[in-house]
Amino acid sequence: MDYKEKYEELLEAHRLLENELAALTLKSDNQANNGNDSIKSIVESREKAFLEHLIDSTPEAIAITDCCGKLTLVNTEFTNLFGFNPEEAINKDINDLIVPDEMINEVIRIDDVNIRKQKVYRQTIRKDKYGNKIHVSLIATNIVINNEIVAYLGIYRDISLERKKNLVQEILYNISSAALNQFEMKDIYPTIVQELSKIWDTSNFFIALYDKDSETLSMPFFSDEKDNFREVPARKTITGWVIGLKKPVLFKENDLKSLEDSGDIDLVGTPCKVWMGVPLRADNEIIGVMCFQDYHEENKFTQDDVNALEFIGNQVAIAIQRRTMLNNVILASRKAEEAAQSKQQFMSTMTHEIRTPLNEVIGITNLLLQEHPREDQMDYIKTLRFSGNHLLTLVNDVLDFNKMESGKIIFEQTPFNLSDFLNDILRSYSFRSKAKNLEFDIVKQNELPVEVVGDPIRLNQILFNLLSNALKFTRHGSITVNIVELERSGNESKIEFTVRDTGIGIPKDKHKIIFESFTQASPDTTRHYGGTGLGLAICKKLVELQGGNIEVESEPGKGSAFRFFITFGIPEKSDKVRQPEPAETYAGLEGKRILMAEDNKLNFFVANKFLIGWGVKVTHAENGKIALDLLEREDFDLIIMDLHMPVMDGVEATRIIRKSENPRIKDVPIVALTAAIMSENHDKIDDLKINDYILKPFKPQDLFDRIKKHVR
């Protein structure tokens, strides 16, 4: 019979019993009123026998006590449940018999309510003859005759199983949640123990984890009245035996003895009365064992307990495994983060290291070119300058890409004239295309806004990359830039650019990967065409960071079309569009006093040559400290401040200058010279109150422009 049917039957019996009791109470009243006669007494004794039979055969434990709590009747189920037969129970105080000490107050409360309400229902705990706690449902009613309580009736039902089932569900849930929420494995074990203690006494309980390679057991949790183990070899222990068996076990003292006699195990520690252990199974592998034992009571655990513990054990194993996996993933991602950080650090250092000598190479090349070299030398110097610039572009690409990867790039939102912008591109690429005998054209497919708001430098960078590729990979035919406004809404314009060529084309299976960093369509691309595989990765980042999208359409032999869109703003009519700066003539700095704080002699040498050429009066300081001293004594119209210097660097010197109380010192324009365009150095620059900065190696025009812009 399944549990539900049995329960229904119990309820029915319960109902019958209550009806009968009510009838009995009524009859007693009638008898009291009407007096005895013999027929009635026969009926009465028959009814009494019937009632007694009913009470005895009912599957619920029934106890009747007198007004003082002395037992006057118990049924067979009472004996089954609590272990006391009628002889042991009758005339005993029910509280002494089955109420655990800690529940005595609750009993008093039940009695109180009972007197007023006549009936109380609750779930509570009672104890049996052996002191075992039993979870029961209790219906307590009083028996009233002539408005007077003459007795109490208690009906008990064992709900341990039901409760255990609910508890097991609760425990499973709590253990899984803990496994997800706690980061450290060691923090999960207390939860496991706390949860298990809802059902079992955990004073003799341990969790053992099994290490297959070393065949050892480690105990992340171990609680025992008698022994203490932290790590033991698994061989010949009962725990090891359970791992080998892969099944849960319930051993009594004798079972353990016979196992020991058969040589299967060597008992270590104090012998116990009962030992219950379940393997922790994850993915068909046993990762450990959970075990309860008891030193006093052989019947402490039953097969039901083993089943419940096995069920929980499976969940614990999954929880442990899941947490371990999660931890591995978290650890891996932390390592990846650290690696990315150190990569950035490395790039930052490399910038400095590469740019300093590059500065020297390009700077001296520029100087050599100014000194009227011989015709034959001119070629070498121009090649040198070309290679230097190429190397500089490469370094810039790598740095740019890294900067984008670390999310440190900021896009300008500046109004610019789109027509002028496109004309510049047309001019520059017509010239380069002609040199390769290629046609070049820019086609506006519909009317475009004349002015837009966005980042012209980044747009130029994208088109520059795409057009350079088109030029590089096309031998015959043409290169076209198609531009179309896809959408205009409010003050926004979505513009699509397509760079189309008739070059070598790209196989379909490479369309995706060419946008990844350092990848090219074929392994011999570098050999034939040069390049690093960074250009498209940079384009993709630049487009996507501006909310756009880039894709390619291409077939080998038929050319390629790279298409991307960006949404620009449209300026208010009043906004002034930035005009291209007129070409500089290097005039206007004559007689200006400039203090140059730079430790690298060669850098100073190069810059000094240019500055003097522009008529500037240059003073040199080898570090920030000397610069500060000079500034105290002399007036300067501007300081060129290298940020990396010994003794006192430019960052520190700038801070001191800006804090000065003397306005002559405090407000002196400062243009920083820096090799790093990324990472923390750049952040530092942003914080500093400098007026501008120039990246090394500087272009003479750039140096001139910045000085001119800020000089006093």
Residue ranges in contact with ligand ADP by CB under 6 A: 465, 469-470, 473, 501, 503-506, 514, 520-521, 525, 531-537, 560
CA 313 – CA 311 distance, rounded (Å): 5
**Least distance in Å: CB of 556 to ligand ADP?**
9
Q: What is the CA radius of gyration of the chain?
A: 46
Q: Compare residues 171 and 471 and give the one whose CB is closer to ligand ADP.
A: 471
CA 608 – CA 642 distance, rounded (Å): 14
- With contact defined as beta carbons under 8 Å apart, do 19 and 55 qualify? no
Q: Compare residues 238 and 536 and give the one whose CB is closer to ligand ADP.
A: 536
Q: Compare residues 363 and 505 and give the one whose CB is closer to ligand ADP.
A: 505
Q: Compare residues 529 and 605 and give the one whose CB is closer to ligand ADP.
A: 529
- With contact defined as beta carbons under 8 Å apart, do 707 and 671 qualify? yes
How many helices, marked H, and strands, marked E, lie in the chain?
22, 23
**Least distance in Å: CB of 476 to ligand ADP?**
13
**Least distance in Å: CB of 545 to ligand ADP?**
17
Secondary element (H or E) of residue 94? helix 94-98
Sheet of 231-233, strands arranged across: 231-233, 216-223, 205-211, 285-294, 274-282, 249-252
Residues facing 221 on adjacent strands? 207
CA 637 – CA 593 distance, rounded (Å): 5
Q: Compare residues 472 and 617 and give the one whose CB is closer to ligand ADP.
A: 472
3-state DSSP call for residue 699? coil
Furthest C-alpha separation in the chain: 151
**Least distance in Å: CB of 575 to ligand ADP?**
34
3-state secondary structure 57-70: HCCCEEEEECCCCE
Q: Compare residues 208 and 462 and give the one whose CB is closer to ligand ADP.
A: 462
**Least distance in Å: CB of 530 to ligand ADP?**
7
Q: Which of 94, 142, 95 is nearest to 115 (CA)?
A: 142
**Least distance in Å: CB of 499 to ligand ADP?**
8
**Least distance in Å: CB of 644 to ligand ADP?**
30
Cβ-based neighbour number of residue 698 at 10 Å: 21
Residue 135 half-sphere exposure toward CB, CA atoms < 13 A: 13
**Least distance in Å: CB of 507 to ligand ADP?**
10
3-state DSSP call for residue 136? strand
Q: Compare residues 281 and 540 and give the one whose CB is closer to ligand ADP.
A: 540
DSSP string, 554-566: EETTTEEEEEEEE
Q: Which 8-state DSSP code applies to residue 283?
A: T
**Least distance in Å: CB of 695 to ligand ADP?**
22
Q: Compare residues 500 and 592 and give the one whose CB is closer to ligand ADP.
A: 500
Q: Compare residues 390 and 659 and give the one whose CB is closer to ligand ADP.
A: 390
Q: Write the single-letter amino acid at 684.
A: K
Determine the distance from the C-alpha atom of residue 555 to the mean position of all C-alpha atoms in its chain, rounded to a whole number: 42
3-state secondary structure 515-543: HCCCCCCCCCHHHHHCCCCCHHHHHHHHH
- Degrees (nearest 5) of the Cα angle 540, 546, 548? 60
**Least distance in Å: CB of 541 to ligand ADP?**
11
CA 639 – CA 23 distance, rounded (Å): 111
Q: Compare residues 486 and 513 and give the one whose CB is closer to ligand ADP.
A: 513
CA 207 – CA 301 distance, rounded (Å): 17
**Least distance in Å: CB of 559 to ligand ADP?**
7
Give φ, ψ of 487 to 5 degrees: -155, 140
Q: What tokens were used for 19?
A: 């009806």
**Least distance in Å: CB of 400 to ligand ADP?**
13
Q: Compare residues 321 and 468 and give the one whose CB is closer to ligand ADP.
A: 468
Q: Compare residues 288 and 503 and give the one whose CB is closer to ligand ADP.
A: 503
Q: Compare residues 131 and 523 and give the one whose CB is closer to ligand ADP.
A: 523
**Least distance in Å: CB of 353 to ligand ADP?**
23
Q: Compare residues 428 and 525 and give the one whose CB is closer to ligand ADP.
A: 525
Region of residue 214 (phi > 0: left; psi between -120 and 50: alpha; otherwise: beta): alpha
Give φ, ψ of 629 to 5 degrees: -60, -45
**Least distance in Å: CB of 679 to ligand ADP?**
23
- With contact defined as beta carbons under 8 Å apart, do 309 and 275 qualify? no
Secondary element (H or E) of residue 249? strand 249-252
- With contact defined as beta carbons under 8 Å apart, do 244 and 212 qualify? no
